[in-house]
Amino acid sequence: MSVGLEAFMLLAAVLFALGLYGAISKKSTIQMLMSFELMAIAISINLIAINRWVTPREMTGQYFALFEMALAAAEIAIGLTLIVALYRRAQSEEVDDFTELKG
Amino acid sequence: MSSTMSYYLLLIPLIPTLVFAALLFLPRDLRNRLMYVSPIAMGTSALISIIAGLTEFPGGPYSILRLDYRLATLGEMPLNLTIDVGPLSLIMLVMVTVIGTCVQVYSLSYMKDDERRGWYFTVMSLFTAAMLLLVMSGDLLLIFAMWEIMGLCSYMLIGFWYKEKAPRRASQKAFLVTRAGDGGFFVALAAIYAACGTFNINDILASAPGWAPWVAAVAALGLLWAAMGKSAQLPLSVWLPDAMAGPTPGSALIHAATMVAAGVFMVARMLPLFELTPFVLTITLWIGVATALFGAILACFQNDIKKVLAYSTISQLGVMFVALGVGSALAALFHLYTHAFFKALLFLGAGSIIHATHTQDTRKMGGLAQKMPLTTVCFTIGAFALAGVAPLTGFFSKDEVFAVIKYASNYPALVLACAMGVTTSLYVTKMWLRVFFGKAKTPHVHEGGILELAPLGVLAAATLFGGISTRAFGDYIGDIGVWPSWYMATISTCVTLAGATLGYLAVRGKFDRFKEPLRFVGAIMDNKLYLDAFYDNVIIKPYFIVSDLLWKFDEVVVDGIVNGVVALYRRLTRLTWRFDEVVVDGAVNGTAAAYLEVTEASRIIDESIIDGAVNSSATLSQRFGTLLRKAQTGKLQTYQRLAIGGLVLVLVLVVVLKGM
């Protein structure tokens, strides 16, 4: 079988599902961040693959993927900064320790 | 005769008016110090008058100044004040201003010690100004206005020494009696305006022949009545003798030039109206005859020098009315003119005599001829003119009156006029002999100063030489008269001589034996013909009785009604109060109690139902809130899961509803 669009989209779907599971289930904020990264990568793969197979003459998907990477890098930087700030406050990075919004 | 209007004539009344206006507002001290202004101003007016009079010589019946001032417009009719100066007015202006000047110069000396002398000159200025405007006016309205101003001025002059009782009463009497006469003027004005719609004298006289006879009669009678009041004719003569209470120079002005002359002058101006109704003319004649005769007779019985002169004025005014009554304005005005000079002279002379002797009683005077020779000469000239001695002015003017009576062929009137002449001569002789001859009864008598003698001299000269002007006077005012003949002059001289003889005999006491049998005559004369008593009993006492009755009526009936109403009102009030207390208060209290009950009920409803509802809804929302709180765990993953769940749910719904 030749490697086609479906294969890439299946890979992206698996990666997204893994990331979503990790974001929902992991207790560590660091791990949650990593899961978000997985989901972002899955979306990037989708963008590039669809561009390659659906509209190969245009580079829109590629450009968008590049922007998305830069955005993900910035997001990680801010996310890590927040986590460090939270750690300094509560001496913990466990998400269950931050329940101040409990009703 | 000048063709242009002589507006400068307006200065003649204007100058004294300005003096009056200026002095009126000054404080008393300053006014007293400025009193010299008044005679100087009057002298200026006199000068202008004389110049104007000479310019117009030899005169005639024409106007040299005519001015209309529109006062108002009544409907379509203009209501004008008219000034109409002809030679007649000029001659009156000369007379009034010359006499006014003489009197005021004399007053400078006579009144010099009076504390209100400034006020005296103020009034004199207004008085003379009013008379000047009266003789200049060409319509009855202006005449009436000036007439009233003179009434006011005479009131103030007669009552000048208002701190004493007699002048006060005399001034009120003069004012009221002349006012009673003015009622006639009102009636006449109304009748004239109804008949021809104008007050202009020329227009009135032109249209008068077309009026209904009774309208002309009413107008003429009204004017006659007014003139009788002003010129002191019987029976309205009572105010004049009492008016002697004022200062003597003031009396001179009232008697000679201003007040009393106004009545005669007005009738003379309106004489054609009188001639339309012969019976009014007849009334005028007989009133004149009666006044002339009784005035002269009353003068015989007076001992007060001023009273003698007062009655002689009444008598001489009567003579003027006689002349008017036979239809001769010329004779009346000529006698008015000559009389003004010699009567002013007599009054001023009498003033000097009173000042010198400190008495007014002729019986206490005597022998003044040696002590006061100049005054004696002047007074004698005046007295002889009054008696009608040739060739003084009084002789000519009285003969003129006699001549017109004879020309009218009214012999009863002529006989009575001669009787008046005898009587006049009698009382003049009596007064003259008593005052100037016999032995002196008063010490320290001396002449007055130059300020007193100069006016006397001027007036004496006018009286002495005025007779020459007899013919010229008639030509000047444009009236062709009947001039006395030698025949009349002889009769007149005999009359005068007869009177003088009787007067001489009276002073010598030849008539004393008739005194006892004729006592009743003396009583009548002492009581001034009972005229005052007549007014007292017929007018004044009934007036008081009616006033008394009205007062009683007021007290009994009107007060009774008022008191009854008050009592009724009190009853009514009490009743209302009861009603108020029982019914109104009851209703109010009941309403209040009911209101309280309702309030209590509504409170209960409020507490149980409304509060219950509010509280239970609050409890309900609290329960619900507690329930919802549980969803807020504060855990991040919980929210994530819910968000994902929600997303999935939405996707499923989209798939199910759209069917892929």
Q: Which residues of B127-142 are buried (b: 16+ CB within 10 A; e: fewer)?
A: bbbbbbbbbbbbbbbb
CA dist B318 and B315 (Å) reads: 5
Q: Which residue has the higher pLDDT, B268 or B56?
A: B268
Indicate which of B633, B636, B639, B648 best probes the interface with A, i.e. most A CBs within 10 Å of its own CB.
B636
Backbone angles phi, psi at A4, to 5 degrees: -120, -170
CA dist B530 and B524 (Å) reads: 7
* Residue pair B329/B268 in contact by the 8 Å Cβ criterion: yes
CA dist B510 and B95 (Å) reads: 41
- CA contacts within 13 A on the Cβ side of B118: 15
**DSSP per-residue letters across B471-491:** HHHHHHHT---PPPPHHHHHH
Which residues in chain B are contacts of A98 at CB distance < 8 A?
A: 634, 636
What average pLDDT does the segment B501-513 reach?
A: 77
Q: Which residues of A32-67 are buried (b: 16+ CB within 10 A; e: fewer)?
A: bbebbbbbbbbbbbbbbbbbeeeeeeeeebeeebee
Backbone angles phi, psi at B73, to 5 degrees: -120, 120
Element housing B349 (H / E): helix B329-357
Q: Is the dihedral of CA B185, B191, B197, B201 positive or negative?
A: negative
Q: Which residue has the higher pLDDT, B313 or B630?
A: B313
CB distance from B632 to chain A under 8 Å?
A: yes
**Which among A20, A23, A99 is the nearest to B635, CB-wise?**
A99
What average pLDDT does the segment B522-539 reach?
A: 71
Residue given tokens 């036979």 in the structure block: B326
* pLDDT, tens digit, 9 for 90 and up, residues B549-570: 888 888 888 888 888 999 999 9
Confidence band of B2 (pLDDT split at 50, 70, 90)? very low
* pLDDT, tens digit, 9 for 90 and up, residues A40-63: 999 999 999 999 888 888 888 889
What average pLDDT does the segment B269-297 reach?
A: 90
B71: three-class secondary structure by DSSP: strand
Q: What is the pTM of this model?
A: 0.70
Residue of B nearest to A100 (CA): B634
CB distance from B631 to chain A under 8 Å?
A: yes
Question: CA nearest B43: which of B83, B111, B103?
Answer: B103
Which range (B107-111, B234-238, B417-421) has the least confidence?
Answer: B234-238
Confidence band of B548 (pLDDT split at 50, 70, 90)? confident
Name, in order, each residue with C-beta under 8 angstroms of B606's C-beta and a sequence gap of 6 or more. none
* pLDDT, tens digit, 9 for 90 and up, residues B155-164: 898 888 888 8
Which residues in chain B are contacts of A100 at CB distance < 8 A?
A: 634
For residue B53, count other CB atoms closer than 10 A to its CB: 19
Which residues in chain A are contacts of B633 at CB distance < 8 A?
A: 99, 102-103
What average pLDDT does the segment B134-144 reach?
A: 89
Element housing B493 (H / E): helix B486-507
CB distance from B636 to chain A under 8 Å?
A: yes
DSSP B515: T
* pLDDT, tens digit, 9 for 90 and up, residues A57-97: 888 888 999 999 999 999 999 999 999 998 898 888 888 88
Alpha-helical (H) ranges within B137-212 are: 140-158, 165-196, 201-207
**Which among A20, A23, A102 is the nearest to B632, CB-wise?**
A102
Strand pairing class (B77-85; B65-74)? antiparallel
pLDDT at B354: 87
A-B interface: how many C-beta pairs under 8 angstroms?
A: 31
pLDDT at B97: 92
Contact call for A24 and B640, based on CB within 8 A: yes
CA dist B393 and B400 (Å) reads: 11
B581: three-class secondary structure by DSSP: helix
Which range (B159-163, B310-314, B655-659) has the least confidence?
Answer: B655-659
Distance from the Cα of A23 to chain B's closest Cα (Å) equals 8
Which residues in chain A are contacts of B630 at CB distance < 8 A?
A: 103
pLDDT at B584: 86
Alpha-helical (H) ranges within B270-328 are: 271-275, 278-300, 305-325
Distance from the Cα of B650 to chain A's closest Cα (Å) equals 17
The rounded percent of chain B whose pLDDT value lies above 70 is: 95
pLDDT at B591: 92
CB distance from B640 to chain A under 8 Å?
A: yes
* pLDDT, tens digit, 9 for 90 and up, residues B468-487: 777 777 777 777 666 667 77
pLDDT at B1: 40
* pLDDT, tens digit, 9 for 90 and up, residues B395-424: 888 888 888 888 888 888 888 888 898 889
pLDDT at B3: 47
Q: Is the dihedral of CA B252, B257, B262, B264 positive or negative?
A: positive
What average pLDDT does the segment B383-398 reach?
A: 85
Contact call for B644 and A96, based on CB within 8 A: no
Residue of A nearest to B637 (CA): A24
Helix axes B373-387, B329-357, angle to 10 degrees: 150
Give me the amino acid identity at B155.
Y
Distance from the Cα of A51 to chain B's closest Cα (Å) equals 24
Confidence band of B320 (pLDDT split at 50, 70, 90)? very high
**B67: burial class by Cβ within 10 Å (0-12, 13-18, 19+)?**
middle
